[in-house]
Structure 1
């Protein structure tokens, strides 16, 4: 599965990309895939409690947005191999070994359904189903830890796809698998339900009380901490900010889902980390954005400091410069 995933990524080189105002480039084939198959992901979420965002991100990554040979010829969008219990049709492709057996499906819908059963019926993935289905970061990290892929950047790649393409909007339930238009994305300010608590919090804390929320200072920056069922709109309302300004300070869309414990800056972040923070070792489930939030530095600055392109995904164990 993993070698085949690498092969599908090669297919994406040279594909048309669309540059957004934020500087993040969007791949047209990804957006087309999302528009075409988001309803299948939403259906599977309702049936199996697997986040639609995770389903879509895995499918895009494993199938090259439906363009890989295995997806085109066998309708296999998740790179699932035959295994001993498979009694259906088969397709053979080179992967970690030559001429490996992969599952062949009659339709893309069958592939989505079988992927859900594959995860829900195997004990090694059982702990994923104890997570909140809106906790896509926990799911991405868990998939890698449970051995779905050997790629050390697998979880981080899923998270980047979900956040770059706002796939988390399909986890909100009210979309009913319909296409989420750009206008709806911009207009949406719904509160999002609880995800997994963020383990890290800023080390410095000389906070003062500002009702109805606590406001703190670290690295010379003013911030607050997201609560259960929180949103940028609610924080802005409580503290007298504009929602768009808070989103801009934190370099995310206004409808970006917040988890309890997330750091929310109330002013623009810095271009480099404060001393003595010189380097950061990447962990499973981290993105360039989450790293930038922890140290109070701008995402673009983090890319620039490390001479990385916008499509770069941090790999577990890798060391990044912070100043």
Structure 2
């Protein structure tokens, strides 16, 4: 009798262990493809150095890292303002807040200064970072300047942000509240945080920079060699492979991967590949 009970218990334990186990399959993370980004160029001064010195003189308790961030990226924010009609103060404040003045983990490993997630249309490189949920997908850039431009396009090309462009460029308070209303961030204090940064560092001064005092070309992000046509790019079409493209332009597959920073043979339709380098 005892033997039967013992055998019964043993069978129950075996069955429980077999059916109790779940197959845990980790979803493979898509690294994306390397997109060709235009090289940054030097922009005209927006008197950022003078602005920082004045701020530091009046309030020596201001965060030095944030002051350096403003000095480094103010001109880019002004450029984006004149192209896309987004207040430079808002762009800078968002960059400071979202990236931790450039020192946040996401900013450091991906040059993503605005916390922009991948979404379905993003084909470029990506990183995975804990945010509202664990290991969310975020866009990765080669240059911070590309992050700034992508932030502008993110706002201008989505309908939910369209109403913001009815606001005046110098009305940073309405812009800050509007971003929260449109769903840019879930934090209820997001508008107040942006406004606080703008007023603490007087970022509204950059909204006053006139276009005539800040001359630049809309294509200024392209390097000089590219303008002269010494570099040649090819846009990937349906049916293309690295091999077919290499044959078309008389370049080896390995060289094609090297000059485009490709880790494997994965390419996507619409992707621009460098097929001839400037020398």
TM-score (norm 2): 0.55
CA contact (8 A) 1:51 1:133 kept: yes
**Which of 115, 124, 139 does residue 88 from structure 1 map onto?**
124
Aligned to 2:199: 163
Per-residue deviation, 1:177: 6.5
Deviations for 1:106-144, whole angstroms, at most 9, x for unmatched residues? 100000000000000000000000111111011001001
Which of 140, 155, 165 is matched with 1:104 structurally? 140
Change in Cα spacing, 1:140 to 1:24, as seen in structure 2 (3 Å) is farther
Show the counterpart of 2:96: 60
Structure 2: any 5+ residue segments left out of the alignment?
Answer: 1-54, 216-279
Q: Structure 2: how far apart are the matches of 1:177 and 1:165? A: 21
1:31 is matched with 67
Partner-residue secondary structure (3-state), 1:26:
coil
Residue 85 of structure 1, CA deviation: 0.9
User: Whole-Å Cα distance in 2 between the matches of residues 40 and 22 of structure 1?
Assistant: 25
Shift of the alpha carbon at 1:174?
Answer: 3.4
What is the count of residue pairs matched by the alignment? 160
Report deviation, 1:173.
2.0
- 1:151 matched to 2:187: yes
Corresponding residue number in structure 1 for 2:164: 128
- Provide the C-alpha distance between the structure 1 equivalents of 2:120 and 2:131, rounded to a whole number of angstroms: 17
- Alignment TM-score, normalising by the size of structure 1: 0.47
- Using the alignment, how far apart are the partners of 2:99 and 2:83 within structure 1? 23
The answer for the alignment partner of 1:187 in structure 2 is none
Name the counterpart of 1:253.
Answer: none
Provide the alpha-carbon RMSD of the alignment: 2.0
Structure 1 or 2: larger helix share? 2
Shift of 1:99: 1.1
- Ranked by relative contact order (alpha carbons within 8 Å, sequence separation 6 or more), the top structure is 2
Three-state SS of the structure 2 residue aligned to 1:151 is coil
Cα distance in 1 between the residues matched to 2:189 and 2:135: 25
Aligned to 1:260: none
- After TM superposition, the structure 1 = structure 2 runs for residues 1-323 of structure 1, keeping only pairs within 5 Å, are 25-174=61-210
* Secondary structure of 1:101 counterpart: strand
Q: Secondary structure at the match of 2:62?
A: strand
Q: CA deviation at 1:24?
A: 8.5
1:23 Cα offset (Å): 7.2
